[in-house]
Amino acid sequence: MSIYELLAELIEIDGSDLHLLVNTPPVFRKDRTLVPSKDTEPLTVERANELITSILTKEQAEYIRLNRELDFSLELKDQTRLRVNVYFQRGSLAAAFRLIPKKIKTIEELDLPPVLHQLINYPQGLVLLTGPTGEGKSTTLAALVDEINHKQPVHILTIEDPIEYVFEPAKAIVSQREVNSDTLSWSMALRSALREDPDIVLVGEMRDFETIAAALTVVETGHLVFATLHTNTAAETINRIIDVFPSDQQGQVRQQLASSIVAVVSQRLIPATTGGVLPAVELMFANSAVRNLIRENKPYQIDSVIQTSSEAGMVFFEKYLMSLIEQGKITPETARENAFRPEEIKRLLHNR
Boundaries of every domain in the chain: 3-100, 114-315
- Average pLDDT for residues 226-249, to the nearest whole number? 95
pLDDT above 90 covers what percent of the chain? 91
- Average pLDDT for residues 120-133, to the nearest whole number? 95
Q: Is residue 202 within 8 Å of residue 142, measured between CB atoms?
A: no
pLDDT given at position 352: 85
Q: State the Cα torsion 325-331-332-333 to the nearest 10°.
A: -160
pLDDT at 324 over 90: yes
CA dist., res. 23 & res. 8, Å (int): 22
CATH class assigned to 114-315: alpha beta
pLDDT given at position 134: 85
Q: State the Cα torsion 96-168-104-196 to the nearest 10°.
A: 70
Q: Is residue 232 within 8 Å of residue 130, measured between CB atoms?
A: yes
183-192 pLDDT, tens per residue?
A: 998 889 998 9
Residue type, 218: V
- Average pLDDT for residues 22-40, to the nearest whole number? 94
| Contacting residues for 41 by C-beta, under 8 A, at least 6 apart | 25, 47
Burial (0-12, 13-18, 19+ Cβ within 10 Å), 333: exposed
Order of strands across the sheet that contains 277-285: 173-178, 155-160, 200-203, 224-229, 125-130, 261-271, 277-285
Residue type, 345: I
Strand 27-30 vs strand 17-20: parallel, antiparallel, or unpaired? Answer: antiparallel
Beta strands in 17-165 (DSSP E): 17-20, 27-30, 33-36, 69-75, 81-89, 92-100, 125-130, 155-160
- Using the Cα atoms of residue 8, residue 9, residue 11 and residue 17 in order, give the sign of their dihedral: negative
pLDDT at 153 over 90: yes
What crossing angle do the helices spanning 288-295 and 250-260 adopt, rounded to 10°? 170
- Average pLDDT for residues 158-170, to the nearest whole number? 94
Strand 155-160 vs strand 173-178: parallel, antiparallel, or unpaired? Answer: parallel
Q: pTM of the prediction?
A: 0.90
CA dist., res. 346 & res. 31, Å (int): 26
pLDDT given at position 141: 96
Task: Please give the CATH number for the structural domain made up of 3-100.
Answer: 3.30.450.90
Prior bond to 162 cis, omega within 30? yes
CA dist., res. 236 & res. 196, Å (int): 32
CA dist., res. 315 & res. 311, Å (int): 9
Which residues, in sequence order, are bridge partners of residue 201? Answer: 157, 225
- Average pLDDT for residues 35-39, to the nearest whole number? 94
Rounded to 5°, angle at Cα 258 from 174 and 292: 150
pLDDT given at position 219: 95
Question: DSSP of 17-49, one letter per residue?
Answer: EEEE-BTS--EEEETTEEEE-S--SPBPHHHHH
Backbone phi, psi, residue 142, to 5°: -60, -40
For residue 189, which of 199, 181, 177 has the smallest C-alpha distance?
A: 177
Task: Tell me how far the alpha carbon of residue 220 is from its chain's centroid.
Answer: 23
Backbone phi, psi, residue 123, to 5°: -70, -30
